Amino acid sequence: MQFSENLRIGIKSILVHKLRSFLTTLGVIFGVAAVISMLSIGEGAKREAVEQIKLLGTNNIRVNQLKLTGEQAEEAEQKNSRGLTYRDGQLIRENLPSVKGVTPVRFVETEIMLGNKESNGRVVGTDETYQWVTNFHPSEGRFIGALDVAEAKRVCVIGSEIRSELFGYRNPVGRRIRIGDTWFVVIGVMEAKTVKEGKASVIKLRNINKDVYIPITTALKRYTDEDRPNAVEEIAIQVEKEDQVVPTSEVVKRLLNRTHNGVNDYEIIIPAELLAQSQKTQRVFNIVMGSIAAISLLVGGIGIMNIMLASVTERTKEIGTRRALGATERDILGQFLNETIMISVTGGTIGIILGVVMAKAINLFAGWETVISLFSVVISFGISALVGIVFGIYPARQAAKMDPIAALRFE
């Protein structure tokens, strides 16, 4: 018998018991919707983590100065460690010629003024490599150059939010702003970058759109910290390829261990490892959530099977009649299997729509990033069809194997 005939018969018998069919479908609808929304949360969290870590750069290693407790500070002093310094960065560059870039970062706590307007941005002393290492470039003007660093010039590049805060729509390039007690010429404006402070944050990111970049040498010279004259807060190291990250970090660790005389006053962060770590956690989360969703789908499937078994019994006489009129066992099997698959696939389709709506709602009300991937839609649809086949095959076989004579006599 043709498939289209089976389809027509299936639709008819589903429509005869509208409420029953709907209730049966409901199990699959919720199961699939759960799978879709759970996967979307997982996918969203994953993407958020990836985005954040990409902002740090997966080919990068970050060395951060640690805030020391009293005891640690004492130890550092005893062992004569001055914390992370500009010199450390230069040492890394000299000893590891294979690295692509080494960028020192120093934060300067001071006010940024334009006339009477004050901005709450952050002053960052760095060098010309910063834009490459962090993959963050100016949209107007230029970034700090090697000459600016060498001559400790009083130039600055401002973040996009500082620009709108202080200059509005005016062109800031070439104008002067006051940072602390010193006047600086604005030579460029950085591009705007989306920095998400989402729920799934792996690392606390500062809003780099509020940075003001000045040459590191200028920062060290003009805003000297008396206790730690050459101190930097961070050194960003970029390697050529991702697989060099770990070996390079090992070397950096040994190097710093020597210069810091064995004092652990710094930490080495490898974004790629953080990413792997977060993905591992995410995977566990996905498996747990996916399992819960799958169980609800299973329950839905059992519901379908239950109804189909009842339906087979109820339609015994119809089965007998169809057999008498020339239906083969396969025809009957196809008829009932087709009906189950139709119920579950319809449920799956509605479930996908509901799942997408739920994902949007979660995003809207809970603020969680959710991403519907094509994969999750395909897999949900596939699973719902599979549920139809798996839970439909038994009732359909029951129907097909029925003795036509007994079925005809059934009252």
Partner 1 sequence: MLVEVKELRREYVMGETVVKALRGVSLNVEKGEFLAIMGPSGSGKSTLMHLLGCLDRPSGGTYSLDGTPVEKLDDVELSRLRNRKVGFVFQAFNLIMQLTVVENVEVPLIYMGIERAQRRELCLEMLKAVGLGHRPNHRPNELSGGENQRVAIARALVTKPQIIFADEPTGNLDTKTGHEIMEILQGLNAKGTTVVLVTHEMNKAKWARRLIHMQDGKILRQLVGKEIQQLKDLFQEMPEA
- The binding site for partner 1 (CB under 8 A) comprises 1-2, 5, 12-13, 16, 317-318, 320-331, 404-405, 408
Closer residue to partner 1 in complex, CB, 205/408: 408
User: What six digits make up the tokens of 115?
Assistant: 């006339």
Residue that has been written with the tokens 């949900």 in this structure: 380
Q: Alpha-carbon distance 313 to 401, whole Å?
A: 12
Closer residue to partner 1 in complex, CB, 96/408: 408
Least distance between partner 1 and beta carbon 336 (Å): 14
Least distance between partner 1 and beta carbon 318 (Å): 5
User: What six digits make up the tokens of 338?
Assistant: 């087709």
Closer residue to partner 1 in complex, CB, 106/322: 322
Closer residue to partner 1 in complex, CB, 288/324: 324
Closer residue to partner 1 in complex, CB, 235/327: 327
* Spatial CB neighbours of 357, under 8 Å, sequence gap ≥ 6: none
Closer residue to partner 1 in complex, CB, 16/19: 16
Q: Helices 329-365 and 18-56 sit at what angle, rounded to 10 degrees?
A: 50
Least distance between partner 1 and beta carbon 316 (Å): 11
Residue type (1 letter), 259? T
User: What six digits make up the tokens of 177?
Assistant: 């702003």
Least distance between partner 1 and beta carbon 329 (Å): 5
**Is 186 in contact with 174 (CB distance < 8 Å)?**
yes
Do β-strands 182-190 and 155-158 pair in parallel, antiparallel, or remain unpaired?
parallel
Closer residue to partner 1 in complex, CB, 14/63: 14
Least distance between partner 1 and beta carbon 348 (Å): 25
Q: Which residues lie across from 23 on neighbouring strands?
A: none
Closer residue to partner 1 in complex, CB, 141/404: 404
Closer residue to partner 1 in complex, CB, 255/408: 408
User: What six digits make up the tokens of 4?
Assistant: 């289209």
Least distance between partner 1 and beta carbon 400 (Å): 9
**Is 201 in contact with 212 (CB distance < 8 Å)?**
no
If one counts every other C-beta atom within 10 angstroms of the C-beta of residue 296, the result is 19
Decide: helix, strand or coil at residue 194: coil
Query: Computed over its alpha carbons, how large is the radius of gyration of the chain?
Result: 33
Q: Alpha-carbon distance 163 to 175, whole Å?
A: 11
Q: Which residues lie across from 268 on neighbouring strands?
A: 63
**Is 25 in contact with 350 (CB distance < 8 Å)?**
yes
Closer residue to partner 1 in complex, CB, 115/326: 326
**Which stretches of 130-193 are assigned E, i.e. beta strand?**
138-141, 155-158, 176-179, 182-190
Helix ranges (H only) for 138-270 are: 146-150, 160-166, 216-222, 245-259
Least distance between partner 1 and beta carbon 29 (Å): 24
Least distance between partner 1 and beta carbon 377 (Å): 34
Least distance between partner 1 and beta carbon 312 (Å): 15
* Spatial CB neighbours of 311, under 8 Å, sequence gap ≥ 6: 13, 336, 339, 395
